[in-house]
Amino acid sequence: MSPVLYGLRVHADPNVVRVTPDISDYRKVTIQFDFALADGRDWIGQSQGIPIVVDREVAPELQGRTIDFRDGDFVLI
């Protein structure tokens, strides 16, 4: 099952999965373990109990989108 971002909000937990859109291909994203920034730049969703963090500026573009793993890349569908 693919993770879906729901209800974005500010996040304080330092242990998160960061989703970063690829600027060269808007359909691809990078997934990595990270720490949420405490300066308000990060917003969070949750999928199956896992905190998912995205940069506040791109959060609206990702809200409600599904991330899938296809042909060696994480992609938005």
Domain boundaries, the chain: 16-76
Give, in order, the Cα–Cα distances in Å from 77 to each of 24, 59, 69. 17, 16, 10
User: What pLDDT does 12 receive?
Assistant: 52
pLDDT, tens digit (0-9, with 9 covering 90-100), for 17-66: 999 998 888 789 999 988 776 677 888 778 888 888 888 888 888 888 89
Confidence of residue 16 (pLDDT cuts 50, 70, 90): confident
Between 4 and 30, the more confident residue is: 30
Between 43 and 1, the more confident residue is: 43
pTM of the model: 0.69
